[in-house]
Every structure is written in C-alpha cells, then in structure tokens.
Amino acid sequence: MKTYTLPPLPYAYDALEPHISKQIMTLHHDKHHQAYVTNANAAMEKLEKSRKGELQIDIRGVLRDFGFNADGHILHSLFWPNMAPAGKGGGAPGGKLADQINKDFGGFDKFKAQFSDASKTVEGSGWAMLIYEPTSEQLIISQIEKHNLNHIAHSSIILASDQWEHSWYLQYLNDRAKYVDAWWNVVNWSEADARLGKAIK
Ligand code: MN
C-alpha cells in the first residue's frame, strides 16, 4: 500500500513572521497537516483490509474520511510553497500569471480585492483559491468548503489560501480580515506563475 508522508516546510517556522507567527506555522504544519496525513493513511488501510475481507467497513464513511484527509494533505502540500519569506513573497505577480490576471480580472487590484473577499467569506472552514479552468481557458476565483466541497472538475489550483481558523486565530483572534490582508505579504508569486505555466501547457 502506498502511503502519504508529511513534506517538510520549504522555509523555517519563523520565516513568515511578522505576518504569520512561528507558533501558528509549527502547530499548523506539525500537528494539523500531520493529522491529515495520518488519517488519510488510516482510511486507505481500512479500504485495503476491506478488500482482503479482513475488515467490515461503512464504505461511504471511509471514503468521505479518505477524501477529506487526502485533500487536506494535498492542499497543505501546495499551500506551504505558495508562500515565501519576506523579500521573496508578496508584491504582485510577473510573467504569464500577470498577463492572465490582467486579461481575466481587469487588473491585479481587482483580482486581489475579489480574492480577499472570497477569503473573508468562506463559510465555516475552508479555502480561497485561484484556479485555472481549462474548458473556458481562464482564471477563476473559487472557494472550497472544508477540503473537499465545491471543487471544480479538471481545474488546476494556482494559489490557495487556508481560511481554517488554525491558520490565523492564535495571532489574529476574531479578525480574519486582518489575516487576509497580511497574507498578501507572503504570497509566492513566482511559484504561482510556474503553476499556471504547467496548467496551460
Ligand atoms: Mn490548514
């Protein structure tokens, strides 16, 4: 059975300070992300044992559990490199991504305002995302509730912003809007541009 493993953070735990604290990054990566990996692997093991006739399972429940945790793992694996320390992160994108944002949103500021709005309004726990939807050949802003609801089939995620409380509450308390505003300082635009290049090819 193939299993998932927790990838290391691509920078130090305190590298995103002052915008995202070392405490949040440590808990978020070492505890929350690790839990998605552990639970996705546990669900996979249940599915395998069920196939071998060693375990009776509620397939709907186990598949839901697997989808939730596997998507949690996949999204967080994308989220860490989609941020970068001061000096490398923030500002505005360049490259193909800048052109595509101008074309599809009428300018970076308009995109940023709508993405922030999507971030601040995710219902419950979830994500705001910039996705490339290949059928219409355009960038679209989207939300995911939890980890696995509201996916748009075939789309590639270009940028994902974690809006679960564990990603901001310890530092920003009830002020999610302040986290969303600060988050723009750590966006890794060159990684997002590379992601768009792969999505369009
Ligand atoms: Mn998270």
The Å distance, Cα 147 to ligand 1 centre, comes to 9
The Å distance, Cα 171 to ligand 1 centre, comes to 14
Q: For residue 31, what are its two tokens?
A: 């505890």
In three-state form (DSSP H/G/I as H, E/B as E, the rest C), the secondary structure along 41-63 is: HHHHHHHHHHHCCCCCCCHHHHH
The Å distance, Cα 103 to ligand 1 centre, comes to 31
The Å distance, Cα 125 to ligand 1 centre, comes to 9
pLDDT at 158: 95
Residues with CB in 5 Å of ion ligand 1: 162, 164, 167
The Å distance, Cα 164 to ligand 1 centre, comes to 6
Rounded to an integer, what distance in angstroms lies between the CA atom of residue 66 and that of residue 131?
23
Task: Decide if 66 contacts 106 (C-beta within 8 A).
Answer: no
Task: Decide if 66 contacts 36 (C-beta within 8 A).
Answer: no
List, in order, residues 6 or more apart from 103 with CB less than 8 Å away.
Answer: 138
The Å distance, Cα 108 to ligand 1 centre, comes to 26
Q: Tell me which H or E stretch contains 141.
A: strand 138-145
The Å distance, Cα 9 to ligand 1 centre, comes to 13
Rounded to an integer, what distance in angstroms lies between the CA atom of residue 3 and that of residue 10?
21
Task: Decide if 102 contacts 108 (C-beta within 8 A).
Answer: yes
Domains of the chain: 22-82 (1.10.287.990), 95-200 (3.55.40.20)
Q: Each residue's pLDDT tens digit in the chain (201 positions)?
A: 889 999 999 999 999 999 999 999 999 999 999 999 999 999 999 999 999 999 999 999 999 999 999 999 999 999 999 999 978 999 999 999 999 999 999 999 999 999 999 999 998 899 999 999 999 999 999 999 888 777 777 889 999 999 999 999 999 999 999 999 999 999 999 999 999 999 998
Rounded to an integer, what distance in angstroms lies between the CA atom of residue 150 and that of residue 133?
14
